[in-house]
Amino acid sequence: MLNQPLTLPCGAVVPNRICKAAMTEGLAHPDGSASAELARLYGLWSDGGSGILLSGNIQVDGDHLERPGNVVVDGPLSEDAFQALSTMAKEGTRAGNHLWAQISHAGRQTQKIVNPSPKAPSAVRLRLPQSQFGEPVALTHEEIETLIDRFVNCAVVCQQAGFTGVQFHAAHGYLLSQFLSPLTNQRDDQWGGVLENRARALLTIVTRARDALGKEFPISVKLNSADFQKGGFDFDDSLTVAGWLADAGLDLLEISGGTYEQPRLLNLDGVEPIDEQAIARSTMAREAYFVDFAKAMREKLSIPIMVTGGLRRRDVMEHVLETGGADVIGLGRPLCVETNGPNELLKGADELGRYENSLSLLPSWLMWLTRFNTVRTINSFATQFWFYEQIANIGRSGSANETLSVFSATMAQQKAASAWLKKRKGE
């Protein structure tokens, strides 16, 4: 099954069922343009054998980055910036695979060092330690309309640059996900309240993008199965929105889950008790975090579905595909080290590395401290820096450094982010 091609509703053919999931790279120039490091990185991932590569966040607003180093397409690009984006697209498709641009806006999840007063559907601040995020400001109606135009424009620019598809990021607590959740969207106008209004921004983007990109260009959405927060966006909401997206002409729905406050996408506990969903959980869920949600959706939807999160073993991936749990398997963290991992799986390898099992900011004798929510959250996010730095290493030199410590990776990432921001601000 992994080797089988997939024909999408738009007619495009994906050569196999493996997708390199979207992962933040942090390698763009301070002006937001793509770099030679990004081109090298995506060239190696293209050679690695995935049928689809999903880019990291390409932001539609340079003042609302997920983190320093994001690619930005927030209007017309200069000739040099467009050429750089085209080079990234050319290298990222050189093995005959797809390369899709993940298009995003961080909203209230914009770090304070980037923007201390980020725009969001409502002025609801993130509940995370260390005050990493500022007090958000509610968007006006006019600003929402402008943002919708920016999402569509970014998709068109990426199409012109040579990307073979786009994915709109409406999961993990970013802006479009914030619109969907009643916890973060407390508006009483046409953009808030009932689910139909909360989904209006996302559905408008998809509808307008389909008109602008044409009927044969793949459009995907990354959607939370649930936020796993009490009173938030739940599975019933997700199923309803997925149906609306299918009616709007979606080609692939990626199922994920969680937010920064409840990071289920990383199979981690957040700052509050998890709100479990009324879905029968199989033993497979320990490895494939969201496959049961995808199966439940498949009973109602006919569009292709992708699952990402925890998958490492080829036999589990094959089982997910064969039993209708998904049509595409998303792989993330293993490919931060093993760029050729998909080829190995397609040739019959049993399993990819589960590097996260041996990573921690804390020494073993202090791991008891992770019983405290704040410490556990800090440790969890610090381990992510290890994967960030591996991506950066591949982009810079062509290979990862498995001997790197979590502490060293964290320091390197923080230093790079600080230097990047200073250059961006002209300091």
Can you give the pTM of this predicted structure?
0.91
Does a structural domain hold residue 77?
yes
For residue 149, the surrounding DSSP H or E stretch is: helix 141-161
Total of domains in the chain: 1
CA-closest candidate to residue 358, choices 398, 389, 404, 316: 404
- pLDDT attached to residue 404: 95
The Cα 25–Cα 21 span in angstroms is 12
Phi/psi for 112 (5° steps) reads -60, -35
- pLDDT attached to residue 300: 82
- pLDDT attached to residue 276: 43
Does a structural domain hold residue 407?
no
The CATH number assigned to the domain holding 61 equals 3.20.20.70
Residues 119-170: tens digit of each pLDDT: 999 999 887 655 688 899 999 999 999 999 999 999 999 999 999 999 999 9
Question: By the 8 A CB rule, do 314 and 345 touch?
Answer: yes
CA atoms within 13 A on the CB side of 22: 28
Does a structural domain hold residue 258?
yes
Q: What tokens appear for 193 in the block? A: 């309240």
Does a structural domain hold residue 332?
yes
Does a structural domain hold residue 413?
no
The domain in which residue 55 lies consists of 6-357
Does a structural domain hold residue 64?
yes
- pLDDT attached to residue 270: 42
- pLDDT attached to residue 246: 94
Residues 6+ apart with CB under 8 A from 416: 26, 68, 69, 392
Does a structural domain hold residue 362?
no
Residues 241-300: tens digit of each pLDDT: 999 999 999 999 998 865 555 444 444 444 444 444 333 344 444 455 567 777 788 888
- pLDDT attached to residue 277: 38
Does a structural domain hold residue 398?
no
The Cα 341–Cα 321 span in angstroms is 18
| Averaged pLDDT for residues 173-182 | 94
Pairing of strands 52-59, 13-14: unpaired
